[in-house]
Structure 1
């Protein structure tokens, strides 16, 4: 039925034809609402980002203040006098270079071992079939819910019996394996089709070869995410070095900054200066690995 027929029928019955909607009216309303929604969303995100960055901004400004000006009321966001010499003085007040080297050594070593062990164990849980696989994986992942304080003392006794207290090897052995890394990598491996592994087996590749030559090259986003998270956690770790390391030459940067806390006074400005310097390596690594990190987190939960 065309428009002419509708007009004839309406004329015959005496009923006026329905009015056509004004062009663009409905679309204009929806378009305006969409724009308002986007403005509100971006405003909320900007406010949230500003709230997250506020402590970092305070740390940056406090790093160039005098000790007496750090906790002034009200807060002085812009110091009256900039003490740029804090960034040169801290290198002579404490052996900061030694602490940074120790933190870098532990972070790189533990990150490499966690990526290796986590990806290898995750391959077995995701791509291999053996009795009790799911139950074993569930039990292994359940250890994430157990707080570290519950088994902190038994771990220390074991390290002491082995003679590894006050060595970097104790921290490396305790943190070289992680259930979270296995979980993260397994979730990503589930997104890789099983046909790739089956075709590689038909071609004669062993399970080690499939993992190294087929699965790992496809898992760069997940590997980058695990590496970044492990590096940040190890770099920021305070309790581990505090418990196991007593030699000043073995301390990490997080432990070394404790020297500015005295019995009668605390050099807060130097603590902020050291904190700024300790954040810079993490910031650089995150900026370079941000693209892989976001992809790895976004795809690890998709089957």
Structure 2
């Protein structure tokens, strides 16, 4: 498990448990054993199972945790997704933190799958963005993949993305080309993406060397189609449509011929999937 994720789990448990779970300590016998299931209360796509399992195990290594549904699988209302057997105090203490991770990440996966399904008959792919919960980026981007989406850059360090504000500071085309060449020399393998909000910019960027992607920001369907035509039969730069994409507009955008459609909403506005923990008598299967 990534160290950042491990630390996030520790912080979440510390936040919830603090000096101790007083309810379980005073109202649950120390030797009580339980059997429980994490149950889907609604339809969705499952993500975050590894983190949820780790939460239960950190609280009590004596809890037997079994994942019943694969990461990225669709689940229906009432489906059992994780089974738990072991000390009641441990299960109860870990319950909320584990569900918080699982519900949030499954919500991201579910939102992503809706967009992926919406553009299924187009060749474009759904991309995430950096509009993630601080500290949760690795987890939320993994949830995007579980939902069938594709990860954009992880951060400022693994892809150059020259946006409108950067271009205001450096708008000279020759200087832009020189900067791209210098980057490619000093950081071989790092891709370059330039943001365009006008077709005139697209035409200019297509003439530059070393440009791997062009971001088509808030363009109309007509302009997106024209941008694809300007690129012609070239495989690169790849074209990414961005800006205010919704479920209602995603398919029409994808059908213009762009390679990617980026959607910030799949992370910043995802609604948590409703999941709960149901206890059953130990003798029941």
- With normalisation by structure 1, the TM-score equals 0.21
Q: Which has the higher contact order (CA 8 A, sep 6+)?
A: 1
- With normalisation by structure 2, the TM-score equals 0.22
Greater share of helix: 1
Bigger CA radius of gyration: 1
